Amino acid sequence: MKRQKKLSFIDLFCGAGGMSHGFKKEGFELLFAVDNNEYCKKVYEKNFPGDKFFHLDLKNITNQKFKSLIGRDTVDLVVGGPPCQGFSTIGNRVSSNPTNRSKKDDRNNLVYEFIRLVEVAKPKMFVMENVKGILTRDEGKIFSNLLKMIERLGFSYRYRVLNAADYGVPQFRKRVFIIGTKIKSINLEFPDETNGPELLNLDKYVTVEDAFLNLDEKNNLKNHVPLRHKEKNIRRYKMIPEGSKLPEDKLPKDLYRRNFGNTFKRLSRYEPSLTIVPGHNAFPIHPTKNRSLTVREAARLQTFDDDFEFIGPRHEQCIQVGNAIPPLLARKFAAMIKNRVL
């Protein structure tokens, strides 16, 4: 039987700490986390007291400085989700104008910075997460260049698109995960799927009803304050069937507008949620109430514990939740790495 030890990890571009949350729950030791967002710093101070957090812009940190932050010779794992909106097929890119999409988006370069810092840290293994859009951005050149960089630095790797719903997260959320190592004895693997449609020999998908239908506004929970919607938006919400979107062809003239997006889609209580995305008040509509989700309801769809508190103005809290890697999925990675890889 493999001897268990406390494995160490570094979380880069950590955001609100979804990856840290999941790996720590599985017994990993967080050496430090890094992000350039001041509110994420406050989130870590609140939810991970005693753990190190560095408020830094990683694209400006030198290799020598990064080595000094690590302060040890060996690290088991480096994880992270470099900012991805430049690749997203849901969120805003550089511009909605196709001519301008080819212009430089600095967020795209951060995936390369992640690999540079992995090389400096020399971990046994790394795990990187990003949106599916990275596969096709700039006709696939960015992802191709990323893989070439990984190979050039001597890493073997595998990548796969995973759907969080297949791992017990109550949300259809497809993301690309890259795992890599320089140690030949490590057999790179992905966690086994645990959930799926009823036809498969797996546990059923976890639904929106499972996640938060037991909540109401009277629950004394942090981050659980509904927005006060304008009367016109409430009238729109009333027209949206459960599990569907706003029927734009049936709207009265005074309710019509362009670009409704995810904010005018109502969740079905009987299925996992659609993807929770970052952005100012970009959450979908409650299955049975004529309002958007609260931050806490969205956090439950992301599998954050109820005592995990998001900090800052509401739009910052929305960004923290929407950008996060679901802690449950992170924990599935952690368990797999602990038991079968390292």
318 carries an active-site annotation? no
CA within 13 Å, CB half, 193: 16
Q: If we measure between CA atoms, which residue out of 277, 290, 276 comes closest to residue 233? A: 290
**Nearest-5° angle of CA 225, CA 293, CA 212?**
95
Q: Which residues contact 121 (CB under 8 A, 6 or more apart)?
A: 10, 66, 70, 75, 78
Going by DSSP bridges, is the β-strand pair 174-181/156-163 parallel, antiparallel, or unpaired? antiparallel
Residue 75: how many other CB atoms lie within 10 Å? 19
Question: In the 8-state DSSP scheme, what is residue 261?
Answer: G
User: How far apart, in Å, are the Cα atoms of 51 and each of 30, 274, 317?
Assistant: 7, 33, 21
- Distance between CA atoms of residues 280 and 327, nearest Å: 22
Residue 29: how many other CB atoms lie within 10 Å? 13
User: How far apart, in Å, are the Cα atoms of 226 and each of 221, 255, 287, 305?
Assistant: 12, 22, 14, 19
Q: If we measure between CA atoms, which residue out of 199, 151, 157 comes closest to residue 178? A: 157
Q: Which residues contact 144 (CB under 8 A, 6 or more apart)?
A: none
If 0-12 CB within 10 Å is exposed, 13-18 middle and 19+ buried, where does residue 200 land? exposed
Active-site residue set: 84
